[in-house]
């Protein structure tokens, strides 16, 4: 192993302490008053208390306080200009079973926090603040333990917790976390390089007779073996027409397409999220190639449209118009493309949005509410089928990181429903569509950072053209 290999393998779990301090100071300026409370996550038991799922820290806690272990909470006290981390040092029993950690006060310094208190002091500090009429800002919880904890700490009942979450804090957090600094983009690049290995390995393993779980298991292992973990449960399926298909029990059969939508998180939890579609036999049929190249054209055209000030809703339209036009060329759709897209007829084939923001979460910050992340005063969510699922629609800004992931799917249940309802008869040629009922689906996804002048696709290109995919498929 040479020196540079060794350097690359070093696990880095936190940024410089100054970064966390800057983030909290900015938050104080954004909020103006009150206390922002961030609850870290707890261990989550799989089947009994001492057998937990792999621990995953809350992303906003990671963003402002950086410490990646259970049993922590942090406050940013805007009025007192003070940050405190709450937690308990390990006792000897913890150390015997799970190993030691530096003292909390030393760990907190790594995040630039010089005040720490035992966890049970949190209750007192909050009650005192409340009695003085201070506002406690908190984000909407997504885990039951934290819902319960907030109820207890703030004297709320369960049904009130979501309502009392602070919109001011949500907006401040989204504003900060949406713009990635260079150090964060470097982490996302690292996550992409893990995804590169995952995807090229999957391509090499793809051949008739192998089971989906053999490939899914191997590539999940790659994420772990490269120092991270998967960024979401792997979607790897010959039934890619099911958008989030997590079943991995099928045997690959020649003639099918394998959709692999998977990505990794670095040790610092920054994500990648990539999709490739692979012909099981190693060669695309001409029918598959035609559809594949429509999706590829849609994806590449959408990426090229990305620039600051441009609404991502329009990037979505660039892609779906290419899809509608391509499908019209094949006789699956008909009529005027712009009118078909306006009416939402293309959503029979692509019933999802073009993509989402990505960062410390694969769908970044969706825990605080999708509309706060992807929409704003200038861009309201549509309720049209298909477009309603667009997660990121608002104007793009330098530092945004997003996915671009169009697809074409033949979903028999949806085809039958629309056909029965005689939906969009002037734009859809149902007789032709019926010839594709067993086609499956194709999705192609890359990760893009918005730059000052346009865009940059993150990472080394993972084979994407039909030629490049065919060249690598089944080569193990």
Applying CB under 6 A, the residues found at the interface with ligand GLY are 232, 261, 273, 356
Q: Which does 361 bind (CB under 5 to 8 A by kind): Mn ion, ligand GLY, none?
A: none
> 85 forms bridges with which residues in the sheet?
74, 116
Q: Considering beta carbons, is residue 270 or 427 the nearer one to Mn ion?
A: 270
Per residue, what are the HEC states of 257-323?
EEEEEECEECCCCCECCEEEEEECCCCCCHHHHHHHHHHHHHHHHHHHHCCCCCEHHHHHHHHHHHH
Q: Considering beta carbons, is residue 273 or 470 the nearer one to ligand GLY?
A: 273
Q: Cα 49 from chain centroid?
A: 28
Task: In angstroms, give the least distance from the CB of 273 to ligand GLY.
Answer: 5
Q: Considering beta carbons, is residue 68 or 273 the nearer one to ligand GLY?
A: 273
In sequence order, what DSSP letters do the residues of 18-61 get, joined into one string?
A: HHHHHHHHHHHHHH-SSEEEEEPP---BSSSTTSBPPP---HHH
Identify which range of 159-167, 242-250, 270-278, 334-342 contacts Mn ion by CB under 5 A.
270-278
Q: How far apart are CA 229 and CA 296, in angstroms?
A: 28
360: which residues sit within 8 A by CB, 6+ positions away? Answer: 59, 62, 63, 177, 269, 270, 271
Closest CA to 354 of 291, 275, 459: 275
Q: Considering beta carbons, is residue 344 or 407 the nearer one to ligand GLY?
A: 407
Torsion sign over Cα 43, 46, 48, 50: negative
Q: Which does 60 bind (CB under 5 to 8 A by kind): ligand GLY, Mn ion, none?
A: none
Task: In angstroms, give the least distance from the CB of 313 to ligand GLY.
Answer: 17
Q: Considering beta carbons, is residue 39 or 202 the nearer one to ligand GLY?
A: 202
Count of positions (residues) in the chain: 476
Task: In angstroms, give the least distance from the CB of 102 to ligand GLY.
Answer: 36
Identify which range of 238-246, 272-280, 290-298, 380-388 contacts Mn ion by CB under 5 A.
272-280
Task: In angstroms, give the least distance from the CB of 264 to ligand GLY.
Answer: 12
Task: In angstroms, give the least distance from the CB of 119 to ligand GLY.
Answer: 35
- Strands 455-457 and 446-450 turn out to be antiparallel
Task: In angstroms, give the least distance from the CB of 352 to ligand GLY.
Answer: 8
299 binds Mn ion (CB under 5 A): no
Which 248-267 residues touch Mn ion, going by CB under 5 A?
none
Q: Which does 177 bind (CB under 5 to 8 A by kind): Mn ion, ligand GLY, none?
A: none
Task: In angstroms, give the least distance from the CB of 205 to ligand GLY.
Answer: 20
Helix axes 144-154, 121-131, angle to 10 degrees: 50
What is the pattern of x (binds Mn ion, CB under 5 A) and - over residues 374-413?
-----------------------------x----------
Q: Considering beta carbons, is residue 90 or 357 the nearer one to Mn ion?
A: 357
Q: Considering beta carbons, is residue 208 or 369 the nearer one to ligand GLY?
A: 369
Task: In angstroms, give the least distance from the CB of 262 to Mn ion.
Answer: 10
273 binds Mn ion (CB under 5 A): yes
Q: Are 374 and 183 in contact (CB under 8 A)?
A: no
Q: Considering beta carbons, is residue 232 or 430 the nearer one to ligand GLY?
A: 232
Q: Which does 265 bind (CB under 5 to 8 A by kind): ligand GLY, Mn ion, none?
A: none
Q: Under DSSP, is residue 117 helix (H, G, I), strand (E, B) or coil?
A: strand
238: which residues sit within 8 A by CB, 6+ positions away? Answer: 212, 250, 252, 253, 256, 257, 258, 259, 280, 440
Q: Considering beta carbons, is residue 273 or 470 the nearer one to Mn ion?
A: 273
Task: In angstroms, give the least distance from the CB of 407 to Mn ion.
Answer: 10
Q: Considering beta carbons, is residue 137 or 180 the nearer one to Mn ion?
A: 180
Task: In angstroms, give the least distance from the CB of 359 to Mn ion.
Answer: 13
Contacts by 12-17, CB closer than 8 A, 24 or more apart: 12/267, 12/268, 13/68, 13/267, 13/268, 14/66, 14/67, 14/68, 14/110, 14/111, 14/268, 15/66, 15/183, 15/268, 17/109, 17/110, 17/111, 17/112
Q: Which does 232 bind (CB under 5 to 8 A by kind): ligand GLY, Mn ion, none?
A: ligand GLY
Binding site for Mn ion (CB under 5 A): 273, 403
């Amino acid at each position: 192993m040479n020196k540079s290999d060794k350097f690359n393998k070093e696990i880095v779990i936190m940024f410089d302490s100054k970064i966390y301090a800057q983030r909290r100071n900015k938050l104080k300026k954004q909020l103006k008053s009150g206390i922002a409370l961030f609850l870290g996550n707890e261990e989550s038991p799989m089947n009994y208390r001492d057998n937990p799922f792999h621990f995953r820290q809350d992303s906003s806690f990671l963003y402002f306080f950086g410490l990646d272990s259970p049993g922590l909470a942090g406050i940013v006290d805007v009025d007192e200009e003070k940050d405190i981390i709450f937690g308990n040092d390990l006792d000897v029993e913890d150390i015997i079973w799970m190993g030691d950690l530096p003292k909390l006060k030393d760990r907190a310094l790594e995040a630039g926090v010089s005040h720490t208190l035992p966890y049970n002091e949190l209750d007192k500090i909050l009650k005192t603040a409340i009695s003085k009429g201070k506002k406690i800002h908190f984000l909407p919880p997504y885990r039951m333990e934290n819902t319960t904890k907030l109820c207890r700490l703030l004297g709320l009942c369960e049904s009130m917790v979501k309502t009392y979450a602070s919109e001011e804090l949500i907006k401040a957090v989204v504003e900060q976390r949406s713009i990635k600094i260079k150090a964060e983009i470097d982490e996302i690049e690292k996550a992409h390089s893990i995804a590169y290995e995952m995807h090229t390995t999957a391509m090499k393993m793809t051949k008739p007779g192998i089971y989906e779980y053999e490939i899914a298991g191997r590539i999940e292992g790659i994420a772990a073996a490269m120092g991270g973990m998967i960024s979401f449960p792997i979607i790897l399926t010959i039934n890619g027409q099911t958008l989030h298909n997590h079943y991995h029990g099928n045997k690959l059969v020649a003639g099918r397409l394998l959709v692999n939508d998977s990505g990794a998180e670095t040790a610092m939890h920054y994500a990648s999220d990539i999709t490739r579609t692979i012909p099981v036999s190693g060669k695309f049929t001409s029918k598959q190639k035609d559809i594949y190249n429509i999706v590829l054209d849609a994806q590449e055209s959408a990426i090229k449209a990305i620039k600051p000030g441009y609404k991502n809703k329009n990037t979505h339209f660039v892609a779906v118009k290419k899809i509608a036009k391509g499908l019209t060329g094949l006789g699956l759709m008909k009529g005027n493309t712009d009118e078909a897209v306006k009416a939402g007829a293309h959503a029979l084939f692509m019933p999802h949005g073009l993509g989402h923001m990505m960062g410390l979460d694969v769908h970044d910050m969706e825990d605080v509410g999708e509309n706060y992340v992807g929409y704003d005063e200038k861009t309201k969510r549509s309720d049209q089928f298909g477009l309603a699922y667009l997660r990121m629609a608002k104007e793009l800004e330098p530092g945004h990181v997003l996915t671009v992931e169009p697809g074409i799917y033949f979903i028999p249940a949806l085809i039958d429903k629309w056909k029965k309802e005689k939906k969009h008869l002037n734009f859809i040629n149902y007789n032709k569509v019926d010839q594709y009922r067993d086609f499956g689906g194709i999705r192609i996804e890359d990760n893009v950072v918005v730059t000052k002048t346009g865009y940059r696709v993150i990472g080394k290109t993972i084979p994407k053209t039909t030629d490049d995919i065919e060249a690598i498929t089944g080569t193990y």
